[in-house]
Each structure stands twice: as structure tokens, then as C-alpha cells.
């Protein structure tokens, strides 16, 4: 019976032809936004060696925050090879030299690494992977794993201090050459997050139907209320997954036809993980949205924005700070935003396996609580004969509903 | 199919909001008959139907389907029942065909069969030309017919109609009445909840009369009419005792109730009273269910 309800709800969701057009055009708009960003000229700092002892690198800010500091003699001279302290990393950060503090606070930043044979650059999220030579890369990776990491690029302060070499710095406007290979990932991340939040609206639309169209008694005479609830959630979640598939096709077409011809710097594991968290988020948000909407006398006008803000705000603030920043890490442990944050970080950042695992645990616990509670709330709303207040809800939890 | 309700009580709310919607009601209905649930609004008819259909659970008592307690909560039972609820509604965004097909599928038909049966049901209720119109675009009467199609789409053995005559024009009213007769002839059990006493009298084999949650009368309609049809209420100066047409006389707050002897008619009594010089200010014979109901509600002790 659940599947019959689910099939109907899926067809209800996708029946209008313009649905496909609207979803596809949405992807194009989002993609154009990111491509536009990619094509915007940015301030680029280029640096040349004046002197480079063996085993040194230069770290240069593309975002334009550091030039005044780096230009000052001495502040950018950071020798590789100093002893790395594993103790009191935060204090080390606080007492770091001005240039490095700025470097650490700068979230969206590309580092450009100079070698003797010219300019060599890598993109933002994988800063710690850049190195002028395999040996130096290995050293940085090792250091990053054991040291306090600077939020921007996952470089430890000590590593950064030790890795920089004297450089001549020049600021100029240039095309942002880093982004084209990454824009597709931003589009995918945006769509994955959007899909999760869309499941709210999809589920509430289905749940509200019984009240809106006066079909409560008719449906409940044919289907058990819990089966009806689950069927609706499954159907509308399937609709959102189908929506994702449409988006995926459009994004793939854009990738092949558009500027992102460079390979995406993302492993299959990360992509699969992000997709998994997206599905988990769709299920959770559909469940919460579906459970809450009938409690709102104004048909979701009050409840839904509140839920969306609860889920979206931590991630929005986190994104402003940086995908691997503290806020995003915290958002990964907040039940309402765990799947969103984990999805975005898997695509655009560098979450540790422990962080990903904890997000999964948070989701599991959230789902284990949300599903029975929301099903109960749904039934309270469905059977309620008076307007619902907190006292009515509390009472409904303490007695048989039917 | 046989449906039996035993000592059913249903309570809503707790404390100050506690309301007894149905109190200690028992009745039984069999296949091939029309059971009428009668009573004014708020008398507990819809609540009782909701309990029979497992939409609500009884506070006390039980529902037996073919002698089995709790069988009304199974999908097997739900698939044998067609229900026209009092709160009318279908998904307005669907066409009539889609809505009826979906409800057929929920009642156990497979996808193809549900669609074929939906065509058949819509034809039967006279909606052949409106199958592909959205429910929201249909008039109230036509939408109600679509809902009737949803009731019969899966060929149920029990049909529950809650206020099926409300808001219908005379043509649709006749149509529903004819449909009920046809379904009864097909051997289906029909439970009809309404406050339209005239329709009940014309259609029902057995009635349950409800008032303020209590069952005040239950039985075959012909027996009830033969018993209550021999009653006359009057406002007379003196008791009409000793007259040949009078079997017994009772004083009530609303006047005097007289039970006629078998074979005597109200006209006989009136003539005998006039002949014996009794002065009568008001005289009313109970010739319809509505009269019976009014009398019982005024004088429940008499009914008991």
C-alpha cells in the first residue's frame, strides 16, 4: 500500500510538463552564475624568487589581502625546516606573525607556488597538496596531518612559516584561472543542497493535500495513516531524486559543452559520499517538513521558513567563513544541517573521515527520532478536530490518537 | 458480509473537553440490506461509521466483521468497503478518471484493472463525458458522482454512504437513490447515514435511530412502523380511556400518547372521541419515521 501511495505522489509531483523545463532552466541559471564568477577578473599576486634556499616555497594570496604585508621586508620570509611544535597550536596561531595571521584568516584564497621554472598554481580547497616537488609535497602533507591547520588552506602555521621563501610580489588583474575546473563542483554542491531543501516543500505539498482537498476520511478508510505518511514521503522523495537526475543530465551536458573541460579534482568516494548524504538529507527534511506542516494553522507559512532557516543558516554562515572552517565543521554535527554541511564539504572541502562518520551518526539518530515523532505529528494534525496549539500536541502524545 | 457493533462507546477529548459522541450502541447489519443510521447532526452517526471503518478506534466495545473482532483494521476489509464520507473531497488537480483509478488502486486493484474499472464506474454514474475533466472543474453534483464512482470502482461488498443526499439537485438525488436500490439488489450491504428521514423510509430495511450519542431505536423498519404507526399524540382535556380503538394511554409532558388497538386507525379514534364528547385541541398520528423520531426524542422513556 505504501508503494501505491508513493507511486501516485511521484506522478503527482512530476506530471506537469513545465516541471522538467523549470528544473532544467534552474540548473542553467545556477551554472551561469558560477561560470560568470569564474570568468570575472580577480586580483592576482605574482611572485618571483629572489633567493630560494633548497626546500622552500612561496605562498601568495590571490584574493588580494596580503600584498601590503607581504611587500614589507621580512614578513614574508619564512624558512622551511624549523621545528614543528605539536603543542598549543591555537596559541601559535594567535601569536603568529602578521602576514601569517592574515593568511590564516583568509578563507577563499588560492596559493600560488613558484618554482624555478615559472608559475605553478593549484586551486583553493586542496592547497595543502601543492608543492614544487614530490619530496616537499610529502613533507607538507605529513606536517598537515599532525599540525594545527590554518583554516584557509589546511596548512599548519609552522609549515607555512617554514615553507615560504623570499619573493618579489606584484599585484595585477588577471583572469581567474583556477575556477573553471571547479565550477562544476560548485554547481553540483549547490544543486545537492537545493535538492535537500526542496524535499521540504515537496513533502509538505503532499501532506497538506488531505486537509486542502477534504480527502482525510476517504484516504484513511483505505490506507492506514502511518502507511499514508510513509507513502507520501517516499513518493515525494523519489520526485526530488528524479529532479536530481534531471539536474545531473543538464550539468553533464554543460560540462561537456562548457568551459569546465579540465578534470574535476574529486574522488569517486567523495562524490558517492556527497550523493549519499544528499539522499539522507532528502529523507530527513521530507520527514520533518511532512510532520510539521499540519501543525501550522497557516498551512506551513510559519513552520517551513523556520525549518529552512534552522537547516540553512548554519551552512550559510559556515560557507561565508569557508568550507573547511570551524562553523562548517560545527554545522556537520547539528542535526538540522548535518547532511547539508557534509555534502558541501565532501564536494568542496576536505572533511576528515571521522567528521563524515559523525555526520552519518548524527543523521541516523535524527532520523530515528524524527520518523516516529513526525509520523505522530502528522496523525495529530490529521485527526485533530480543533486548531492545534502546543497543549493539544502535548496531549495528543499522551493518549491514543484514534 | 455481516457487520456487528457491540457496546460501542466513543469519547473525544479529556477533562473539560471530554465529549461522549457515541454511548453503548449495538447493532448488526447483513449483506443485501440497507441499514439506515438516522439522527440529527451531532448525534454520533459519522463517528460510528468512522469506528466501523477503522478511521477511529472505539473507546469501549468492538466491531465484528463476519464474526471476527478487529477484522476491520485489515487491508482485506478495507478493500471490500466503499466509502462516501460526509466531508466530500477528491484531489481537485486530478481528472475524474485519475482520481477514481487511484482510489481503485488503493482498494486493491492492480494498475490496469483500476483504470478499466474506473471507466466502468464513471460510465455507471453518468460521467462518461466528464472523465477527463479535472475534479476542480466539475460542478458540485458531478464531483459527488465522481466520488460515488470511487465508492463502487472496486466492486465492494459493503458500501458506507454518509449523508449521500446532502447538497444534491433533484436529478442527482434520484440518481443516488436508484443507485442504492441497484446495489442492494446486487446483494451488497449498504449503510446509509443521514438525517433525511424520508429517504430512509423509502430505502432502508433496518434503521438505527441515534440521538445525542444514544441509540434510541433499532430494528426492521416495517416492524417499527407497525408499532409506532399505531401511536397517536394528542392534547385532550380528558384521557380517551375506554374507547374501542384505544389499547393504552400515557400522559407525557408534551400531551397524551395513545396506543391504538390492532386494526384501528387514527381516524377511528378521532371519530370515537368526537362521538363521546371529548374535546381535542391537537391530534397527530405517527405515520412517518420523522414523526416517530420526534416522538421518541420528546419522550425517550417511552421508546425504552
| Averaged pLDDT, A32-44 | 56
Give the model's pLDDT for residue A110. 35
Among residues B220, B247, B269, which one ends one of the domains?
A: B220
Give the model's pLDDT for residue A366. 92
Examine the domain organization and report whether B155 and B212 are in the same domain. yes
Give the model's pLDDT for residue A35. 62
| Averaged pLDDT, B146-151 | 90
Examine the domain organization and report whether B104 and B200 are in the same domain. yes
Sign for the CA dihedral angle at A59, A60, A61, A64 comes to positive
Beta strands in chain B (DSSP E): 2-12, 19-30, 34-38, 60-65, 68-69, 81-84, 158-162, 189-194, 206-211, 214-220, 231-236, 246-252, 255-260, 280-285
Examine the domain organization and report whether B176 and B209 are in the same domain. yes
pLDDT digits (tens, 9 = 90+) for B264-276: 888 888 888 888 8
Lowest pLDDT segment from A215-224, A278-287, A290-299, B288-297: A290-299
CB-closest option in A4, A214, A216 to B106:
A4
Residue B92 falls inside a structural domain:
yes
Among residues B186, B220, B254, which one ends one of the domains?
A: B220
Under an 8 A CB cutoff, do B89 and A214 touch?
A: yes
User: Which of B3, B44, B85, B160 to substitute to test the interface with A, most A CBs within 10 Å?
Assistant: B85
pLDDT band at A384 (very low <50, low <70, confident <90, very high): low
Lowest pLDDT segment from A10-14, A210-214, B128-132: A10-14
The mean predicted confidence, pLDDT, of chain A is 64
Contact of B65 with chain A, judged by CB distance below 8 Å, is answered with no
Instruction: List the single residue in B with minimal CA-CA distance to A5.
Output: B106
| Averaged pLDDT, B280-295 | 77
Contact of B81 with chain A, judged by CB distance below 8 Å, is answered with yes
CB-closest option in A4, A215, A399 to B89:
A215
Alpha-carbon A159 to chain mean position: 27
Angle at A53 between CA A48 and CA A57, to 5 degrees: 55
Give B169 to chain A, closest Cα distance, Å. 21
With an 8 Å Cβ cutoff, the interface of chain A facing chain B consists of 1, 4-5, 8, 12, 209, 213-224, 383, 385, 395, 399-400, 402
Residues of A in Cβ contact (< 8 Å) with B88: 214
Give the model's pLDDT for residue B100. 92
pLDDT band at A392 (very low <50, low <70, confident <90, very high): low
Give the model's pLDDT for residue B117. 92
Give the model's pLDDT for residue B295. 72
Under an 8 A CB cutoff, do B106 and A216 touch?
A: no
Give B193 to chain A, closest Cα distance, Å. 15
Instruction: List the single residue in A with minimal CA-CA distance to B86.
Output: A217
Give the model's pLDDT for residue A397. 64
Examine the domain organization and report whether B273 and B199 are in the same domain. no
Examine the domain organization and report whether B81 and B181 are in the same domain. yes
Residues of A in Cβ contact (< 8 Å) with B78: 221-223
The mean predicted confidence, pLDDT, of chain B is 86
Give B242 to chain A, closest Cα distance, Å. 55
Under an 8 A CB cutoff, do B106 and A223 touch?
A: yes
Examine the domain organization and report whether B103 and B153 are in the same domain. yes
Among residues B202, B220, B238, which one ends one of the domains?
A: B220
Contact of B107 with chain A, judged by CB distance below 8 Å, is answered with yes
Q: Which residue has the higher pLDDT, B63 or A37?
A: B63
Residue B291 falls inside a structural domain:
no
Give A400 to chain B, closest Cα distance, Å. 9
Give A246 to chain B, closest Cα distance, Å. 24
Angle at A187 between CA A33 and CA A271, to 5 degrees: 170
pLDDT digits (tens, 9 = 90+) for A308-340: 788 888 888 887 777 777 888 888 898 888 999
Contact of B11 with chain A, judged by CB distance below 8 Å, is answered with no
* Strand-pair partners of B161: B84, B192
Examine the domain organization and report whether B23 and B172 are in the same domain. yes
Residues of B in Cβ contact (< 8 Å) with A389: none
Distance between the two ends of chain B, CA-based, in angstroms? Answer: 29
Residue B301 falls inside a structural domain:
no
Give B59 to chain A, closest Cα distance, Å. 9
Residues of B in Cβ contact (< 8 Å) with A12: 91, 93
Q: What percent of chain A is modeled with pLDDT above 70?
A: 49
**A46 membership: H or E segment, kind and range:** strand A41-49
Examine the domain organization and report whether B135 and B279 are in the same domain. no
Examine the domain organization and report whether B201 and B253 are in the same domain. no
Instruction: List the single residue in A with minimal CA-CA distance to B107.
Output: A222
Q: Against a cut of 0.80, is the pTM above it? A: no
Give B63 to chain A, closest Cα distance, Å. 15
Residue B300 falls inside a structural domain:
no
SS3 annotation, B151-172: HHCCCCCEEEEECCCCCCCHHH
pLDDT band at A305 (very low <50, low <70, confident <90, very high): confident
Lowest pLDDT segment from A27-41, A83-97, A291-305, B95-109: A83-97
Examine the domain organization and report whether B149 and B273 are in the same domain. no
pLDDT digits (tens, 9 = 90+) for B99-113: 999 999 999 888 899
Q: Examine the pLDDT at A365 and tell me if it is beyond 90.
A: yes
Contact of B55 with chain A, judged by CB distance below 8 Å, is answered with yes
Q: What percent of chain A is modeled with pLDDT above 90?
A: 6
Give the model's pLDDT for residue A311. 82
Give the model's pLDDT for residue A39. 55
pLDDT band at B34 (very low <50, low <70, confident <90, very high): very high
Residue B148 falls inside a structural domain:
yes
Examine the domain organization and report whether B175 and B203 are in the same domain. yes
Give the model's pLDDT for residue A400. 57
pLDDT digits (tens, 9 = 90+) for B153-188: 999 999 999 888 887 788 888 888 888 888 898 889
Residues of A in Cβ contact (< 8 Å) with B85: 217-218, 221
pLDDT band at B262 (very low <50, low <70, confident <90, very high): confident
pLDDT band at B93 (very low <50, low <70, confident <90, very high): confident
CB B22, CB B47: distance < 8 Å? yes
Give the model's pLDDT for residue A170. 42
Give B79 to chain A, closest Cα distance, Å. 7
CATH code of the domain in which B71 resides: 3.40.50.300
CATH code of the domain in which B245 resides: 3.30.70
Give A214 to chain B, closest Cα distance, Å. 5
Residue B186 falls inside a structural domain:
yes
Q: Examine the pLDDT at A53 and tell me if it is beyond 50.
A: no
Residues of A in Cβ contact (< 8 Å) with B14: 395, 399
Q: Which residue has the higher pLDDT, A69 or B269?
A: B269
CB B207, CB B216: distance < 8 Å? no
Q: Examine the pLDDT at A363 and tell me if it is beyond 90.
A: yes
Cα–Cα dist A239/A217, whole Å: 26
Residue B302 falls inside a structural domain:
no
Examine the domain organization and report whether B171 and B234 are in the same domain. no
Beta strands in A61-192 (DSSP E): 112-115, 118-121, 167-175
Q: Examine the pLDDT at B6 and tell me if it is beyond 70.
A: yes
Residues of B in Cβ contact (< 8 Å) with A205: none
Please identify among residues 250-289 of chain B the ones whose CB lies closer than 8 Å to any CB of chain A.
none
Under an 8 A CB cutoff, do B102 and A395 touch?
A: no
User: Which of A206, A217, A395 to substitute to test the interface with B, most B CBs within 10 Å?
Assistant: A217
Q: Which residues contact B186 (CB under 8 A, 6 or more apart)?
A: none
Lowest pLDDT segment from A31-40, A265-274, A341-350: A31-40
Find the domain containing B267 and state its range.
230-285
Domain count, chain B: 2
| Averaged pLDDT, B53-58 | 87
CB-closest option in A217, A222, A399 to B87:
A217
Tell me the longest C-alpha to C-alpha distance in chain A.
Answer: 83
Question: Counting Cβ atoms within 10 Å, is residue A274 exposed (0-12), middle (13-18) or buried (19+)?
Answer: buried
pLDDT band at B198 (very low <50, low <70, confident <90, very high): confident
Residues of A in Cβ contact (< 8 Å) with B83: 217-218, 221-222
pLDDT band at A87 (very low <50, low <70, confident <90, very high): very low
Q: Which residue bears the cell 545537492?
A: A192
pLDDT band at A361 (very low <50, low <70, confident <90, very high): very high
**For the complex shown, is ipTM > 0.85?**
no
Residue B295 falls inside a structural domain:
no
Contact of B100 with chain A, judged by CB distance below 8 Å, is answered with no
Q: Which long-range contacts (CB under 8 A, 24 or more apart) does A25-29 make?
A: A26/A194, A26/A247, A27/A187, A27/A191, A27/A246, A27/A247, A27/A250, A27/A251, A27/A254, A28/A250, A28/A254
pLDDT digits (tens, 9 = 90+) for A235-294: 988 988 888 888 888 777 776 665 544 555 567 788 889 999 999 999 998 888 887 777
Q: Examine the pLDDT at A131 and tell me if it is beyond 60.
A: no
Instruction: List the single residue in B with minimal CA-CA distance to A223.
Output: B106
Q: Examine the pLDDT at A168 and tell me if it is beyond 90.
A: no
Instruction: List the single residue in B with minimal CA-CA distance to A402.
Output: B56
Q: Examine the pLDDT at B17 and tell me if it is beyond 80.
A: no
Under an 8 A CB cutoff, do B85 and A217 touch?
A: yes
Amino acid at each position: 500500500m505504501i508503494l501505491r501511495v508513493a507511486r501516485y505522489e511521484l506522478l503527482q509531483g512530476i506530471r506537469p510538463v513545465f516541471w522538467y523545463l523549470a528544473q532544467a532552466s534552474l540548473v542553467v541559471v545556477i551554472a551561469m552564475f558560477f561560470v560568470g564568477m569564474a570568468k570575472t577578473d580577480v586580483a592576482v599576486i605574482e611572485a618571483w624568487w629572489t633567493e630560494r634556499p633548497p626546500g622552500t616555497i612561496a605562498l601568495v594570496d590571490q584574493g588580494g589581502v596580503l600584498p601590503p604585508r607581504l611587500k614589507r621586508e621580512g614578513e614574508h620570509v619564512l624558512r622551511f625546516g624549523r621545528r614543528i611544535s605539536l603543542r598549543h597550536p591555537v596559541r601559535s596561531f594567535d601569536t603568529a606573525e602578521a602576514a601569517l595571521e592574515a593568511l590564516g584568516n583568509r578563507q577563499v584564497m588560492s596559493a600560488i607556488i613558484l618554482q624555478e621554472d615559472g608559475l605553478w598554481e593549484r586551486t583553493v580547497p586542496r592547497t595543502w597538496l601543492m608543492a614544487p616537488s614530490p619530496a616537499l609535497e610529502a613533507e607538507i602533507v605529513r606536517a598537515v596531518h599532525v599540525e594545527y591547520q590554518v583554516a584557509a588552506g589546511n596548512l599548519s602555521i609552522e609549515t607555512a612559516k617554514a615553507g615560504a621563501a623570499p619573493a618579489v610580489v606584484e599585484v595585477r588583474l588577471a583572469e581567474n584561472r583556477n575556477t573553471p575546473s571547479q565550477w562544476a563542483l560548485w554547481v553540483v554542491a549547490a544543486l545537492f543542497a537545493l535538492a535537500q531543501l526542496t524535499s521540504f516543500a515537496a513533502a509538505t505539498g503532499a501532506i497538506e493535500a488531505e486537509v486542502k482537498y477534504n480527502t482525510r476520511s476517504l484516504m484513511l478508510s483505505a490506507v492506514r495513516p502511518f502507511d499514508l505518511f510513509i507513502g507520501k514521503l517516499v513518493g515525494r522523495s523519489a520526485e526530488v531524486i528524479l529532479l536530481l537526475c534531471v539536474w545531473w543530465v543538464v550539468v553533464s551536458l554543460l560540462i561537456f559543452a562548457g568551459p569546465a573541460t579540465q578534470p574535476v579534482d574529486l574522488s569517486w568516494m567523495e562524490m558517492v559520499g556527497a550523493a549519499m548524504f544528499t539522499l539522507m538529507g532528502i529523507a530527513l527534511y521530507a520527514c520533518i517538513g511532512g510532520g510539521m506542516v499540519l501543525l501550522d494553522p497557516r498551512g506551513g507559512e510559519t513552520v517551513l521558513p523556520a525549518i529552512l532557516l534552522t537547516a540553512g543558516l548554519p551552512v550559510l554562515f559556515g560557507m561565508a567563513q569557508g568550507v573547511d572552517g570551524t562553523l562548517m565543521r560545527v554545522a556537520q554535527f547539528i542535526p538540522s544541517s548535518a547532511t547539508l554541511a557534509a555534502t558541501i564539504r565532501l564536494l568542496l572541502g576536505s572533511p576528515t573521515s571521522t567528521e563524515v562518520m559523525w555526520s552519518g551518526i548524527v543523521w541516523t539518530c535524527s532520523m530515528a527520532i524524527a520518523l516516529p515523532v513526525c509520523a505522530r505529528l502528522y496523525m495529530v494534525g490529521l485527526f485533530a478536530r480543533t486548531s492545534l496549539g502546543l497543549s493539544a500536541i502535548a496531549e495528543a502524545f499522551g493518549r491514543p490518537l484514534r | 458480509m455481516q457487520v456487528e457493533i457491540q457496546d460501542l462507546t466513543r469519547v473525544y477529548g479529556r477533562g473539560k473537553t471530554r465529549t461522549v459522541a457515541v454511548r453503548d450502541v449495538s447493532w448488526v447489519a447483513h449483506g443485501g440490506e440497507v441499514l439506515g443510521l438516522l439522527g440529527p447532526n451531532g448525534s454520533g452517526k459519522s463517528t460510528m461509521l468512522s469506528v466501523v471503518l477503522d478511521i477511529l478506534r472505539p473507546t469501549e466495545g468492538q466491531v465484528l466483521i463476519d464474526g471476527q473482532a478487529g477484522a476491520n483494521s485489515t487491508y482485506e476489509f478495507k478493500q471490500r468497503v466503499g466509502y462516501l464520507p460526509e466531508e466530500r473531497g477528491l484531489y481537485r488537480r486530478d481528472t475524474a478518471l485519475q482520481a477514481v483509478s487511484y482510489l481503485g488502486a488503493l482498494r486493491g486493484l492492480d494498475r490496469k484493472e483500476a483504470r478499466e474499472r474506473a471507466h466502468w464506474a464513471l460510465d455507471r454514474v453518468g460521467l462518461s463525458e466528464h472523465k477527463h475533466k479535472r475534479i476542480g472543474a466539475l460542478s458540485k453534483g458531478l464531483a459527488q458522482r465522481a466520488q460515488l464512482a470511487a465508492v463502487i470502482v472496486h466492486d465492494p461488498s459493503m458500501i458506507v454512504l454518509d449523508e449521500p443526499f446532502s447538497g444534491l439537485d433533484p436529478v442527482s438525488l434520484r440518481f443516488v437513490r436508484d443507485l442504492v436500490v441497484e446495489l442492494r439488489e446486487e446483494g451488497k450491504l449498504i449503510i446509509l447515514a443521514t438525517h433525511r428521514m424520508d429517504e430512509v423510509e423509502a430505502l432502508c430495511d433496518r434503521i438505527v435511530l441515534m440521538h445525542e450519542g444514544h441509540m434510541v431505536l433499532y430494528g426492521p423498519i416495517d416492524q417499527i412502523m407497525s408499532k409506532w404507526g399505531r401511536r397517536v399524540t394528542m392534547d385532550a382535556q380528558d384521557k380517551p380511556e375506554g374507547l374501542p380503538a384505544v389499547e393504552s394511554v400515557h400522559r407525557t409532558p408534551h400531551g397524551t400518547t395513545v396506543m391504538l388497538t390492532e386494526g384501528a386507525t387514527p381516524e377511528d379514534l378521532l371519530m370515537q372521541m368526537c362521538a363521546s364528547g371529548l374535546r381535542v385541541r391537537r391530534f397527530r398520528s405517527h405515520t412517518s419515521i420523522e414523526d416517530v423520531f420526534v416522538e421518541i426524542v420528546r419522550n425517550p422513556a417511552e421508546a425504552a
